[in-house]
Amino acid sequence: MFRKNYKRIGLNTFFIAIVFFFMWGCKKSSVQPTPPPPPPAPTSFQIIKQTINGVVFNSTKTIYGINVTPSIQISFSDKVDRSLMASTVSLVNKTNNSANVDFNVSYQNNDSTITVTPSASLPFLNQFYFSISTALKSASGGSLTNRSDLVFVTQIDSADKFAQISDSALLDLVQKQTFKYFWDFGHSVSGLARERSNGNNETCATGGTGFGIMAMVAMAHRGFISRSDALNRISTITNFLITKCERWHGAFTHWVNGTTGATIPFGNNNGADIVETSYVIEGLLTARQYFNSPTDPTEIALRDSINSIWQAVDWNWFTQNGQVQGLYWQYNPSYTSTSDIWSIPVTGWNEALITYVLAASSPDHAITKNIYDNGWARNGAIKNGNSFFGIVLPLGENLGGPLFFEHYTFMGLNPNGLKDNYADYRQQTQAHSLINFNYCFKNPKDFYGYSNLCWGLTAGDDNVSGYLAHSPTNDDGVISPTAAVSSLPYTPEQSMDAIRFFYYKLGDKIFQQYGFIDAFNLNDIWFSNSFLAIDQGPQIVMIENYRSGFIWDLFMSCPEVKSGLQLLGFSGPGI
């Protein structure tokens, strides 16, 4: 029994040992070997240098004056994945609606440097945007940690856009082309000057019409239109002013409907504007002196009409009917409070000296010298006397303000030899123009395109503000061609240089249907699509005054104007 049990115990022990052995073996065989470590993640990489035509750039500043076949080179800290170039590198023309520009890519330094070049020459004076996105990978799959962004502007084309002609022929061309604004684009019913080329064609400008009348006289004098054609057009305008246009104490409003003569509100002004009226009278008196035939009935009738308009203006009414010692710009009869009825005192220095001269010259409603001294000259506060760019400025704000201050009045009033208690007006007009020129030449704000050839800040259209009185103290990069062109009598060398540059170098962009466009901004690559009567007129007239002094001679021959200047204390040739 014991042996039996022993045998059984032995067999059991044997079997247990066998089971344990197999269990131990199975457990040991289920232990997996330690896996190898994962491969290291791709190392990120970065742009370490970026240049255009060898000049280092960053994303914060636009690069100007780039040639039309630029080379953009980008260096990375690792070689790039070539297969991602097409999807991560971009070159677009922002001037042309962000159109994609085809380009080529070459590789250097074991693919760690790329050079991007346009497939064809780029257009001049266009703005481009180049970029490399962070979607670009290195050849080993690493992520790009910084992107590339560049805005650049191609250079001005130095080639002449038109054949070279003599300076005299160029001035002929500018006068003729600009004159089309008043002759071809003048209102078909009234003959008035439309306020602007890109506005409501029924909106006509009274002041601009005065400038247009002077332009017609200048063009008849030069033989670009016939005397009879000028006479007929100006007669149409004059008759419309008399029979259709609303007047307040003889003064016209700022804007007029060219078909009906109805007043069109100008801002809050829906009544008389004495400054715009003075520009109309300036033009009409010039025409009266030109059409001086003692026998031609049409010329006699025109002179009579002009005299009726001129003599009806009650300049004294615009001193608040004698209540203040100065003229007020606007009379608004539809308002009730005095401050609304009479708005904007006419004080100097600005474009309105002609308003005081004509107010003093009126045969029946002349102001006194005291109103001129107190209202316009502010008892001498009009004086400046400081020096800017080494040039002493007799009158007005520091750095002179917009250049139209020296144009509107002096289209008729000859500043040469003209003096009063406050200034020598030859010095004033020349100093202001030279300061404006020097400011643009020095270019303290570093606007692209400003130079001794491309200058001129005055009121005009603006690519940001719509319309702005540009000046050295209000400069946003906009050049108005009328500023330099109309300053030709004051700065003949600098203005003629600008006219040549505008025509030959920029003419494909800015010399169009009615002469030079109103404004442009080379810093933003913007060219206006507009022409304005008050900017086109001075160019024609002031070119003529530079060439012959003819408009000056006519206006200054008015006996009333001589008397008015004497009353205000002016002296000068023929006064």
pLDDT at 27 over 90: no
Which of the four pLDDT bands, split at 50, 70 and 90, describes residue 7? very low
* Chain segment 417-453, per-residue pLDDT in tens: 999 999 999 999 999 999 999 999 999 999 999 999 9
pLDDT for 25: 46
Dist. CA 469–CA 446, nearest whole Å: 19
pLDDT for 60: 87
Topology of the domain covering 47-154: Immunoglobulin-like (2.60.40)
Strands (E), 363-519: 387-388, 391-392, 459-462, 466-469, 511-512, 515-516
pLDDT at 369 over 80: yes
Give the bridge partners for 205, in sequence order. Answer: 255
- Across the range 321-339, mean pLDDT stands at 94
Which of the four pLDDT bands, split at 50, 70 and 90, describes residue 30? low
pLDDT for 290: 99
pLDDT for 18: 42
- Across the range 11-17, mean pLDDT stands at 43
pLDDT at 473 over 90: yes
- pTM > 0.75: yes or no: yes
**Alpha carbon distance, N-terminus to C-terminus of the chain:** 163
Question: Strand 63-66 to strand 148-154: parallel, antiparallel, or no bridges (unpaired)?
Answer: parallel
Burial of 528 (0-12, 13-18, 19+ CB in 10 A): buried
Among 4-13, 59-68, 153-162, 170-179, where is mean pLDDT lowest? Answer: 4-13
pLDDT at 26 over 60: no
| Range 132-147 burial, b when 16+ CB lie within 10 A, else e | beeebbbbeebebeee
CATH 2.60.40.1220 boundaries in the chain: 47-154
* Chain segment 226-273, per-residue pLDDT in tens: 999 999 999 999 999 999 999 999 999 999 999 999 999 999 999 999
Mean pLDDT of the chain, nearest integer: 94
Residue 456 CB partners (closer than 8 Å, separation 6+): 403, 436, 437, 440, 479, 480, 481, 482, 483, 484, 485, 487, 498
pLDDT at 377 over 70: yes
CATH of domain 167-568: 1.50.10.140
Give the bridge partners for 424, in sequence order. Answer: 419
pLDDT for 34: 75
pLDDT at 514 over 70: yes
pLDDT for 59: 87
pLDDT for 5: 42
pLDDT at 361 over 50: yes
Dist. CA 361–CA 566, nearest whole Å: 9
pLDDT for 301: 98
Give the bridge partners for 337, in sequence order. Answer: none
Coil, strand or helix: which one is 12? helix
pLDDT for 42: 81
Question: Strand 89-93 to strand 99-100: parallel, antiparallel, or no bridges (unpaired)?
Answer: antiparallel
